[in-house]
Amino acid sequence: MAKLGFIGLGTMGGPMVQRLLDAGHQVTGFNRTRSRAQWLVDLGMDWADSPRVASQSAEVTFTMVRDTEALQAVAQGPDGLLAGLGPGKIYVEMSTVSPAISQELAQQVAAKGARMLDAPVSGSVITLKAGQLSIMVGGDRETYEQVRPVLLNIGPTVNYVGGSGLAVMMKIAINLSLPVQIMALCEGLLLAEKSGIPRKVALEVLLNSVVASPALKYRAPLILDPPPEPLFDVNMIQKDLLLALEMGQRLGVPLPTSATTNQWLNAARGMNLADQDFAVLFQVLARLSGIEE
């Protein structure tokens, strides 16, 4: 069992720590808002007063934060996690952030004598709690092999994809498909509904057809029954889509459906729907189709 640090104990990070505690690991955690992490302290997690304390006390430190800015906030400065790293320590970054910033951070970690892996995940809190999360890893292969047993305590599928930054690039390549698929489904669903087919019936047929990917099968029902707390809100999915568009521009890869879907996410924000799960794209299209929600 390893001594672990974990920074970012929100929607995804909290349940990850729960799984690590259940596996018998000693975890020292930090979250910007302590009250959100009290349930983990009650389960046996040690509390750290800063990211530096969390990484200083651990052999392997993880971060799972909202975006690139949040990552930089917990990594840098006298109380940042970098200040607690040293020779022999390992840092595993699991957020979906800018690949360039991830690679830059890996260089800063190496300068401390430590090693860094980028290890974003594919799935949601639903798949995480069900023990079905998929993890992709970039960085030094030997370091990956060393950390892999711990990652398997978080999710059963762990794939090594290559060097530093490549896993977060892979994650962005995956995530651009999520809102694009939802947009296409919404178009078909609205076409069926305005033809006279009840929405619930049309959605059931769509989800039993050849177009129903695993992602759609667990996300599309949110169109009919929005969750009280979004699994993946409009702002978050647009953050990932913008990272994809930035990569496409830099690499010379046209991303036409991603660019179009990004504009529909802009429309959702303009309608004050930014804090809703991105399945709310259906509402945006429905209003323009003359269907009142």
Alpha-helical regions (H) of the chain: 13-22, 38-43, 51-56, 68-75, 99-111, 125-129, 141-154, 166-175, 177-194, 199-207, 214-219, 221-224, 234-251, 256-270, 281-288
Any domain includes 27: yes
Q: How far apart are CA 69 and CA 88, in angstroms?
A: 27
Any domain includes 69: yes
**31 & 160 share domain:** yes
Minimum mean pLDDT range among 92-101, 124-133, 166-175, 183-192 = 124-133
Residues 6+ apart with CB under 8 A from 181: 213, 215, 216
**257 & 185 share domain:** yes
Residue 277 maps to which CATH number? Answer: 1.10.1040.10
Q: Each residue of 205-214: pLDDT tens digit?
A: 999 999 999 9
Q: How far apart are CA 139 and CA 156, in angstroms?
A: 20
- Chain-wide mean pLDDT for the chain? 96
Q: What percent of the chain has pLDDT over 90?
A: 93
Q: Using only C-alpha atoms, what is the Rg of the chain? A: 20
**113 & 191 share domain:** no
End-to-end Cα distance, the chain? 51
Any domain includes 119: yes
Q: Which residue has the tokens 């979250």?
A: 31
**14 & 146 share domain:** yes
Q: What pLDDT is attached to residue 149?
A: 97
Tell which of 129, 164, 199 closes a domain. 164
Q: How far apart are CA 173 and CA 167, in angstroms?
A: 10
Q: Each residue of 274-292: pLDDT tens digit?
A: 999 999 999 999 999 998 7
Tokens representing 59 are 């052999």
Q: Each residue of 14-65: pLDDT tens digit?
A: 999 999 999 999 999 999 999 999 999 999 999 999 999 999 999 999 999 9
**126 & 21 share domain:** yes
Q: What pLDDT is attached to residue 231?
A: 87
Any domain includes 169: no
**156 & 183 share domain:** no
Q: What pLDDT is attached to residue 53?
A: 98
**31 & 145 share domain:** yes
Sign of CA dihedral 30, 33, 35, 37: negative
Residue 58 maps to which CATH number? Answer: 3.40.50.720
**28 & 146 share domain:** yes
Asked if residue 99 lies in contact with residue 247, where contact means CB atoms within 8 angstroms, the answer is yes
Residues 6+ apart with CB under 8 A from 33: none
- Domains in the chain: how many in total? 2
**208 & 180 share domain:** yes
Query: 127 burial class (0-12, 13-18, 19+ CB within 10 angstroms)?
Result: middle
Tokens representing 96 are 């979906």
Any domain includes 216: yes
**183 & 139 share domain:** no
Tell which of 134, 164, 194 closes a domain. 164
Residues 6+ apart with CB under 8 A from 246: 98
Q: How far apart are CA 21 and CA 43, in angstroms?
A: 8
**120 & 27 share domain:** yes
pLDDT band at 244 (very low <50, low <70, confident <90, very high): very high
200 a catalytic residue: no
7 pLDDT above the threshold of 80: yes
Domain hosting residue 123, numbered range = 3-164
Tell which of 141, 164, 187 closes a domain. 164
Any domain includes 139: yes
Pick the catalytic residue: 89, 129, 171, 217?
A: 171
**130 & 258 share domain:** no
Any domain includes 20: yes
pLDDT band at 293 (very low <50, low <70, confident <90, very high): low
Any domain includes 293: no
